[in-house]
Structure 1
Amino acid sequence: MTETSPVRLVVADDQAIVRDGFAALLDSQPDLCVVGTAGDGAQAVRVCQEAQPDVVLMDIRMPVMDGIEATRRLAGQGPRSLMLTTFDLDEYVYEALRAGASGFLLKDVTAERLFDAVRVVAAGDALLAPAVTRRLIKEFATRGPAPVPDTAGAATLAALTPRETQVLRQVAEGLSNQEIADRLVVTEQTVKTHVSRMLMKLGLRDRTQAVVLAYESGLVVPRAGR
């Protein structure tokens, strides 16, 4: 994607009315272009491989192959997955993050929020700033297997400076760059620089993957009841 070309999108949902509705909404924006749709995860993988979109709007629960497996298969192939879920505490959201999703949206999302989310993900960021996401990360990290120190993960984290490790912890708490800047009493640009270097050293694509690594390596241990 270039600055002048529209964001290329694929919409995957097994409900035709939802799929067509999202596709029509997205196509209404001059900087967004739907290049394909799919009714299940397997079809979504095929369409994405053929159409080479920047972002795929992926329903989590679909027949034949669910959105999590489809996201896992597409990871590293180009498109970023923006997951769709019906409930804000969907039991599959944490697994979607682990599979490589760049974020998620509720299906009752407003049109403007949908447009903004697609643009954010297409730009290479992750949808981890909203408070609902912060709650979800804690909820599903708590429900999932208890984090245990991982030797490979620990070795990777050792490459970080103390400040980069501190920033990673706060990213894993769901804080935005501005919130981290306020906490550390530095500029937002300084935080962006730390985040970029942290992602590069860890070989990660975005903040979502950083959050998962932080929990699964044991660097951050979620506390129930928070």
Structure 2
Amino acid sequence: MNRYMAEAAGTALLVFFAVGSAVFGLAEIGTLGVALAFGLVLLALAYAIGPVSGSHVNPAVTVGMLLAKRITPVEAGVYIVAQVVGGIVGMAVIRLIAGLGNTTMQVNGANSYGEKINAGGAFILEVVLTFMLVLVVLMVTRRNDVYGFDGLAIGLTLALVHLVGIPLTGTSVNPARSIGPALFGGWHSMAQLWLFIIAPLIGGVLAALAEPYLRASTARTPNEPNEPHVPGGQSS
């Protein structure tokens, strides 16, 4: 149960701090600042809850892990539910602060397309960006655990894909990150939400399919512990 609670709490924190940086401070910190916020939050979560749940905090990563046979279908299903709930909670806290604190929201935090990129371009973009993120997660972790410098690579990759995607779609690469803001963003955000659910999941699937062919060998990765793996993210 602690794994699922970690995924819910981790996703809530990701949305609150990272999406919150855009909602309250986009004009002050800009695209680079928001991208770094996403990367730094995921970096912190990777080391904080990575040993517990793997720190997916993203249904696309969970789908990739499932197809890579690192977690079971039941675990994956509960992970995804926990992530979506966490994302909604994180955004609800942002809206609560905005309302009670009489704070100006510079953006609503929802992903969108149409102003700078059309639906087709946004779909391809989100697939490619998510492919990059999930591929890195799968290749550096090897299993459903975070060790050594895994978290640094994952956090920097999330920052990188946000630098590319923020000007065009706001960058989803994470359905749980998109669902919460869309629920509070009005009908327009909800009408476009389908793209930010389907495209990242496809990107995760493609990454899982490609990952076995991109590894140099099946040997243990340099930062993987020598101890035998025990399901649940623990080593004996």
TM-score normalized by the length of structure 2: 0.27
User: Higher relative CO (CA 8 A, sep ≥ 6), structure 1 or 2?
Assistant: 2
Say which structure is richer in helix.
Answer: 2
